[in-house]
Structure formats: structure tokens, C-alpha cells
Amino acid sequence: MNFTLKIWRQKDAKSKGAFETYKVTDISADTSFLEMLDILNNNLVHEGKEPVAFDHDCREGICGMCSLHINGLAHGPGQAATTCQIYMRKFKDGDTITIEPWRSAAFPVIKDLVVNRGAYDQILQAGGYVSVRTNSVPDANAIPISKIDADESMDAAACIGCGACAATCKNGSAMLFVAARVSSLAKLPQGRVEGARRAKAMVAKMDELGFGNCTNTGACQAECPKGISIAHIARLNREFLAAKIQD
């Protein structure tokens, strides 16, 4: 398979970027998207040119580092999949593929397709954890948690913090990410102790970092590689309002 790639190139955060066009040929349909970029970079190195910078780590859909906008879609043309889980059989032979970094004011471009997602780390540091003493891990039946609550908590905890939600939202909102982190702890007794402080602190940090408001369009849920439900945003709103009333 042969492809034409339109890739965003940007030397650094202060430089003005632009799209550059490349050709890749004889690509197997079973090649992953990141492997295809590896092949392109190998060709560029042999030609004495600067390879394309892009993020990657586990390449198993776990870490969320492979954050790319492909043909206008976060992570590319796949449902519940990260970029590293996209294979070239998803495209047609001869296709032109446009590859961009996340487009969000809170995720500034570092170089080419690499963005700084440290804003999410700062939100987590504001309250996305349990700091109270909860002692050792109890036996499975020692703390009565319903299966429904446990399942909801685990579904929310599946968030990998890739940033697709904010990059997809037309307002650049991080509500789905924050909601997933708040919800994963709000459904557990260990997390309830600091529930009010957590909701207020994480929302405040999100606003401070320049993320926008929720649009209620559901684009974040549609593009989330882990299928995090926007129902968690409703829980975040309830947690936040309850915390403000307690003040």
C-alpha cells in the first residue's frame, strides 16, 4: 500500500509550524500506524533529513502517549482505540492522510506532533488521589461496595489521560478527564472522605490552566479510546455543587 502523508512540522514551541508532504510506499496492511511512521522516519534519516517527532511508549493502548489527530479524528479512524492500535488496513491504498498534534491551548506543541500534556498532571496533583490513611488492603467482602458502584468506579478509572477529550472538544474542555478521576474515587468509601475538597480543587485547577467549558455535544465520549461515559460529568457537577453548598 502507498500513502501520501501531510504531517505538521514545527521546530519548537516558539516556531511557526506548517504541513509538509511525504510519500511512503510498500506498506503492509498489517503495519500499525506508528510502525508506518517509524518506516517514514527511517527513510528520512537515510536521506539526511530530520525525522518526525511523535510520542509513543507502550504501543498497546495502555499509556495514551500516541496522541495524534488523524484526518481530523483523535487517535484516528477506530472505535475505542488509541493511535498505536490503528492499522493501515483502516485506510485505502493511495489515500492522503493528514496527521496533526492535539489542538488545544492547554497542550502547547513541543515539536512536530509532540505536545506538552503536563496540564493533566497538574490537575491530578490538585486532588486526584487519596491522601487519608486507609490502612492495609481489606478482604474482598470487608467493605460493602455494591457491584454497580464498583463497576462504575472501574469504568471511570479506565481513563488513560491521553487528552483526546480536550483535543476533540470545540471549547477545549477537560471535563471528561476530571470527571473520570473524580468519579472513580467518589464511588468508593476510601475516596468519599476527601470528596468535597477533591472536586473543588480539580475543577479550580482545570479553570486556572485555561481549559474551556463543557459543550454537552458528547464529542469527548465519542473520541475517547476507553469509551468513558459523559454520565461521569454529571456526577462531577453534583460533587462540585454539593461541595460548594458545604462551604
pLDDT tens by residue, 140-152:
677 788 899 999 9
Average pLDDT, the chain: 94
Q: Which of 84, 172, 182 is nearest to 128 (CA)?
A: 182
**Residue 8 binned pLDDT confidence (cut-offs 50, 70, 90):** very high
Res 140: pLDDT: 66
pLDDT tens by residue, 156-205:
999 999 999 999 999 999 999 999 999 999 998 889 889 999 999 999 99
CA pair distance 111, 157, nearest whole angstrom: 30
pLDDT tens by residue, 206-228:
999 999 999 999 999 999 999 99
Residue 136 above 70 pLDDT? yes
Residue 132 above 90 pLDDT? no
Dihedral in degrees, nearest 10, Cα atoms 198, 204, 209, 213: 110
Residue with cell 499509556: 63
- Three-state DSSP class for 244? helix
Helix, strand, coil percentages for the chain (3-state, nearest 5): 40, 15, 50
Res 18: pLDDT: 98
Mean pLDDT for the stretch of residues 16-21:
97
Mean pLDDT for the stretch of residues 112-130:
96
Q: Are 74 and 99 in contact (CB under 8 A)?
A: no
β pairing state of 3-9 and 96-100? parallel
CA pair distance 148, 126, nearest whole angstrom: 28
Helical segments of the chain, H only: 33-46, 118-127, 147-157, 164-168, 175-186, 189-192, 195-208, 219-223, 231-246
pLDDT tens by residue, 55-68:
999 999 999 999 99
Res 135: pLDDT: 72
Residue 138 above 90 pLDDT? no
Residue 109 above 70 pLDDT? yes
Residue 137 above 80 pLDDT? no
Q: Please, which residues have CB within 8 angstroms of residue 148's CB and are 6 or more apart in sequence?
A: none
Q: How many CA within 13 A on the CB side of residue 152?
A: 16
Cα 113 to chain centroid, rounded: 14
Res 134: pLDDT: 72
